[in-house]
Amino acid sequence: MRTESIAYEVRGERYVGYLAQPDRANGAGVLIAGEGTGLGPQVKQRAHQLAELGYVAFALDYVGDGKVLTDVPAMMARLGVLRADLPYVRELGRAALGQLVSCAGVVEARVAAIGYCFGGQLALELARDGAQLGCTVTFHAMLSARDHEGAKNIRGKVLACCGADDPLVPPEQRLAFEAEMRAGGVDWQLYVYGGAKHGFANPNADASGIAAVAYHRPSHERSWRSMLALFSETIG
């Protein structure tokens, strides 16, 4: 496996993503959008896991300059800026996707996007923007859409993985997501994991000290297997 940091610009701001390339690529690429803390060890580990399976993996940066945010107020401030500017979120996704598909060994028609927490929202917005994605997978991401016509632009399959006990993604939000996917004619799946809260796929979630956030190993492992099964259907 080979890894490197790659700098790129969006709206004149510097971003630094993290690329993991397998020794033997299978032709498919995966764009990874992590949690709001930035490109920390957990996000890079996911890239390594995918590269070990033969995927070229690119973890995008939406914090800026490849920084890792260590406190909740700083993270929430950055997410507030992004949530207020949907076109910017989509630009960030598009720019990172461009970096991925430009890599040697990546076939443009065989690319997926996955995202965790706000990164899942970003991945969904990229799909809603009509990006060429074989599939989009989210983990404990908020599912609500501000662009209610965006689902009609989705070109690939969608899998959303949620915790049944996640207060940030309540049942009514999941129902609205289902209605959006149906209206858009999307090939979609929604998995709801019993006993799981927000952050269930992050082994470091318990360190946040936030009651709504907790790691749940069974749901983490089940959702990862579901993602790989969808990859087999879509990008190989």
| Cβ neighbours for 158, distance < 8 A, ≥ 6 positions apart | 124, 127, 135, 136, 137, 181, 186, 187, 188, 189
The mean predicted confidence, pLDDT, of the chain is 96
Output the pLDDT for position 214.
Answer: 97
Q: Mind listing the pLDDT tens digit for each residue in 32-43?
A: 999 999 999 999
Output the pLDDT for position 143.
Answer: 96
Neighbours of 29 (CB within 10 A): 29
Q: Mind listing the pLDDT tens digit for each residue in 85-98?
A: 999 999 999 999 99
Domain spans, the chain:
2-234
Output the pLDDT for position 168.
Answer: 95
| Confidence tier at 210 by pLDDT (50, 70, 90) | confident
pLDDT at residue 148 greater than cutoff 90: no
H-state helical runs in the chain: 41-52, 72-83, 86-101, 118-128, 171-184, 217-234
Q: Mind listing the pLDDT tens digit for each residue in 55-96?
A: 999 999 999 999 999 888 999 999 999 999 999 999 999 999
Output the pLDDT for position 19.
Answer: 98
β-bridge mates for residue 185, sequence order: none
For strands 2-10 and 29-33, give the pairing. unpaired
- The residue ranking higher by pLDDT, 20 or 145, is 20
The reply to whether CATH 3.90.550.10 applies to domain 2-234 is no
Backbone angles phi, psi at 6, to 5 degrees: -125, 125
Q: Are 27 and 56 in contact (CB under 8 A)?
A: no
Residue 232 is encoded by which pair of tokens? 């087999």
